[in-house]
A and B are shown apart, each in its own frame.
Chain A
């Protein structure tokens, strides 16, 4: 099995390095000693059943959440130990695509994409306009520049959020479920965009997604997380044919397997009252 042998990257090569991550939210342990590396210049997909903590993992990488133990290093810096100022400095170099877009409802599409530029770069209006329109063109929404977020569909909002995430040409882009709600044409467009950003600008990308077909087309590497740990990793094609119970369940779509389909609950029959009747 390739799992163990692959997991030995050169430390300097990894843009994101997670070591022994442990996190607890409320009474629930989300991560229980997670290790993974994201090589610089790669497109890495993170998969896992919903509720495993994929969004939480991205939040650790941007310092929105502090781990209880272990470390998350981005570009060599331990995110949890950064001062507020250094953290903001790091965030300027990271683009983040929120699961629900999180566009600023006060501003129209153009101003939403322009927002990071206006805050951090003192550009002449002409140049700023050119940059914003270029990014909007890349996601196919240049014509929607004057619309308000409330006038967009979910897929359009996602693409605007994507344009906003890449407006600064960051070193790292984190995509939280970018393909949800996209029609096949837009999906193609976004996939090509992710690939282009990666190829031409060398931008490292981490994407959380469930769409295996899409992932196969962009990702160099896939990490499968379940129960707070890394359970499988490898190139997309490789992973699909791995003979592990995790991958079989995940890619084969079997309800039975190491990942329970059901959220932990008392016995079904008991809760419906049958157990009592039987007794």
Chain B
């Protein structure tokens, strides 16, 4: 009876949220110690950030281009195509930049982190570290968590810049909008704090969420090939859901 109850999926879900919360606290607690392993942190920033550049830049370019096309069409209905630069920039900075970047990073880097840590667990590497008196939370978990926190907003900035470039390419070079109008409208409306920085705050939070989920899933992955595979999938699914939910909440509070 009680095991039946404990196996109920909703209770299990709540329990794993609780575990994740406790894990978060443990990772945060290990952050000061992990600063000793700054080289590992650099390696993880390289892995999460620099290695994601190509995909983030490509996607940023195309998102900016398609935004310009779609919004040009919409704005032309209202005779407001002069505002194209503004709406492209606002859509990117406030919403698409942080969210799409986070989804991309969850897919590219989050899964890799989960699989890596899951395999380290399965091959006793985490136990071996702790046997060599190196806390795997500080050596493995915290640097990956911090790397997500640092890399995500930087990637979002790159994404945004590429998006603006793509939007300009379509709006000005292709659709023939006036260059001055495009930039002038944008610069007069876009606000550094309200738009650019608020978007970055979102990104920082997404970075924390994605890397926490990835590290947690890896840490708790059953030490089998199937277990690691499932955990990797869960990283993508949970990250995506949590990113969009947190995005909604943060947007509601920020506007």
Chain A residues at the B interface, C-beta cutoff of 8 Å: 62, 64, 88-89, 91-92, 94, 96, 98-100, 102-105, 115-116, 119-120, 164
Contact = CB atoms under 8 A, between A and B. Distances in A.
A268 to B, nearest CB: 28
A267 B147 CA distance: 56
Contact of A64 (B120, B125, B127, B133): B127
A104 B132 CA distance: 12
Contacts of A120: 133
B117 to A, nearest CB: 12
Contact of A62 (B120, B123, B131, B134): B131
A64 B123 contact: no
A116 B125 contact: no
B101 to A, nearest CB: 26
Interface string B127-158: 11111111100000000000000000000000
Given A100-B124, A104-B125, A104-B129, 14 more contacts: A64-B131, A88-B135, A91-B130, A91-B133, A92-B133, A98-B131, A102-B123, A102-B125, A102-B127, A105-B120, A115-B132, A116-B132, A116-B134, A120-B133
Nearest to A168: B132
Contact of B127 (A98, A103, A119): A98
Contacts of B130: 64, 91
B124 A88 contact: no
A98 B124 CA distance: 8
| Main secondary structure on B side of the interface with A | helix
Interface string B85-126: 000000000000000000000000000000000011001110
Interface string B164-193: 000000000000000000000000000000
7 contacts: A89-B133, A98-B127, A102-B123, A103-B125, A104-B125, A119-B132, A164-B132
A96 B120 CA distance: 17
Contacts, number: 47
B237 to A, nearest CB: 27
Nearest to A176: B124
Contact of A105 (B125, B127, B131, B135): B125
Contact of A102 (B128, B134, B135): B128
A139 B84 CA distance: 69
Contact of B131 (A89, A96, A100, A103): A96
Contact of A88 (B125, B127, B133): B133
A17 to B, nearest CB: 20
B132 A91 contact: yes
A199 B135 CA distance: 32
A212 B182 CA distance: 83
Interface in B214-246: none
A98 B132 CA distance: 12
Contacts of B125: 102-105
Contacts of B128: 96, 98, 102-104
Contact of A100 (B123, B132, B133, B134): B123
Nearest to B43: A106
A164 B135 CA distance: 17
Nearest to A104: B125
A14 B233 CA distance: 50
Nearest to A117: B132
Interface string B198-218: 000000000000000000000
